[in-house]
Amino acid sequence: MDLLRAPLLGRLLRWRHARTLFQIPLLLLSVLMILHGFFGPSLAPKNLATTITWVHFRGALVLVLLVAGNFFCLACPFVLVRDFARRFFRPVRNFPRYLRNKWLSVSLLIAGLFVYELFDLWSRPWWTAFLIAFYFVAALVVDGFFKHASFCKFVCPIGQFNFLASTLSPLEVKVRDQAVCTSCRTKDCIRGRRDPVSPLVVIQRGCELALFQPRKVGNIDCTFCLDCVQACPHDNVGILARVPASELTTDAMRSGVGIFSRRKDLAMLSLLFVFGALLNAFAMVSPVYAVESWLAQMMNVTHEAPVLGVLFVVALIVEPVVLLGVAVWLTRLSIDKSPISLLVRYSYSLVPLGFGIWLAHYSFHFLTGLYTFIPVMQSAAAELGWQFLGTPLWRLTGLPVSTVQGLEYGFIFLGLLGSLLVSYRLAEEDSPVKPMRAFVPWAGVAVILFAAAVWLLSQPMEMRGTMLGG
């Protein structure tokens, strides 16, 4: 299946201005959220900034990533503003070589998780609006100084989340026929298509994330921008169906990313993706308050920051070191590789389970607060004197918790199944004769994390950002 050859949707996606068409509504919505966050009600469930950001955006994001792919990066409003700014100035610098990796985005993702919990961003419209505005500024500043899509590839925490989650997607931007690319001499998919009269003039840019289509494997670092589709003179790039998570089981050299088993930074991002999912879920269930109170008494502190710091250290350092250390030690009994190389290689097997946890968590808030945007929009219109949307229907919430909880467990189980399949495939490649010896330790890690996730999501969940609570 090739989505670009679908009768109506394919024609729309092949249109040169399709991305702009998708970006404009999200830009207008972002501006509305910023304005309402700064000047609207201070109560989070009645403010567009908090309701749409923390209830609807995150839930819709993971669901789209699951069923289709990284289409939110395709419609990213930050890039639209950046592209408009580049009409007036063009950056000439390359992003610093020592930052061309995922370490900066790993740090920013940890900082984002910490700030979210410390300042309760889900309950603060003003700070949520500030965060959205700051994102626009950051994209403008980074890509104003540096060429290509440096912000997307090396900085943006949301983008890194999308890249990893989209490894589980059923669609991939990919060449249709490798033979066509072999005979191609212009390489427009990465260099861009140039004016035949003035070769220095680029009339259609190629991939800004340095993904050369014939050697691209999977969705890592792919924003689904479709620039390669527009640039290819042979119409040889499509959005093709593939087996989800298949890119996690291969270790070939891939354009723009290299070899997975040599990417310590990408492995660390994957582990943060997994253990951060558990940490973020734990921070939203009722038992966290008892744990924080106990830690505060033990540490004799009254401020939340040191308590959160301890929780983050335990969840993101201590637990991974213990669990993964044991798994690596057991794996070395059957595979003669260095501990670091084993850790890097098998860390990718946990990505499906991590995505299952994020999916369960975010879809819970999204589905239980599915209709909450309606009364918030009605209220915002009424504040401006526009009554055409009617009286706010604050009783609207979403699906019953009992219904959604079954879906949560299903998502986590699918994530576990994906992790088991990926880890077994890796074990088969490393130890073809006795793959179970390498498989069992990582299967054990996945099962332990699965059990922890099930326990967490069976606890009373804070209904943050909805009229049901928070």
Residue 24: inside a domain: yes
Residue 386: inside a domain: yes
Domain boundary among 241, 269, 300: 241
In sequence order, the 6+-apart residues with CB closer than 8 A to the CB of 43 are none
**Nearest in space to 75 (alpha carbons), one of 121, 28, 35, 32:** 28
| DSSP H helical ranges for 332-400 | 339-347, 351-368, 373-383
The DSSP call for residue 461 is: B
Q: According to the model, what pLDDT value does residue 363 have? A: 94
> Are residues 133 and 24 part of one domain?
yes
Contact 459, 361 (CB under 8 A): no
The two three-digit tokens of residue 270, written as one number: 């994957």
- pLDDT average, residue stretch 156-180: 94
Tokens 């250390």 belong to which residue?
Answer: 325
Q: What is the pLDDT of residues 248-261, one digit of tens each?
A: 998 889 999 999 99
Number of domains present in the structure of the chain: 2
> Are residues 201 and 279 part of one domain?
no
- pLDDT average, residue stretch 393-411: 90
> Are residues 65 and 10 part of one domain?
yes
> Are residues 174 and 133 part of one domain?
yes
Domain boundary among 241, 272, 300: 241
Q: What is the pLDDT of residues 98-127, one digit of tens each?
A: 999 999 999 999 999 999 999 999 999 999
Range in 79-83, 273-277, 365-369, 459-463 the model is least confident about? 459-463
> Are residues 212 and 101 part of one domain?
yes
> Are residues 220 and 275 part of one domain?
no
Q: According to the model, what pLDDT value does residue 462 have? A: 63
**pLDDT above 80: residue 305:** yes
> Are residues 13 and 122 part of one domain?
yes
Q: What is the pLDDT of residues 12-70, one digit of tens each?
A: 999 989 999 999 999 999 999 999 999 999 999 999 999 999 999 999 999 999 999 99
**pLDDT above 90: residue 221:** yes
In sequence order, the 6+-apart residues with CB closer than 8 A to the CB of 354 are 164, 270, 273, 274, 275, 276, 277, 415
Mean pLDDT, the chain, integer: 91
> Are residues 237 and 265 part of one domain?
no
> pLDDT exceeding 90 applies to what percent of the chain?
75
> Are residues 226 and 306 part of one domain?
no
Residue 254: inside a domain: no
Residue 408: inside a domain: yes
Q: What is the pLDDT of residues 403-457, one digit of tens each?
A: 898 999 999 999 999 999 999 999 999 988 889 999 999 999 999 999 999 999 8
**CB atoms < 10 A from the CB of 233, how many?**
11
What does pTM read for this prediction? 0.92
Q: According to the model, what pLDDT value does residue 420 have? A: 97
**pLDDT above 80: residue 467:** no
Q: Which residue range(s) make up the domain with 187?
A: 1-241
Q: According to the model, what pLDDT value does residue 57 have? A: 94
Q: According to the model, what pLDDT value does residue 193 have? A: 84
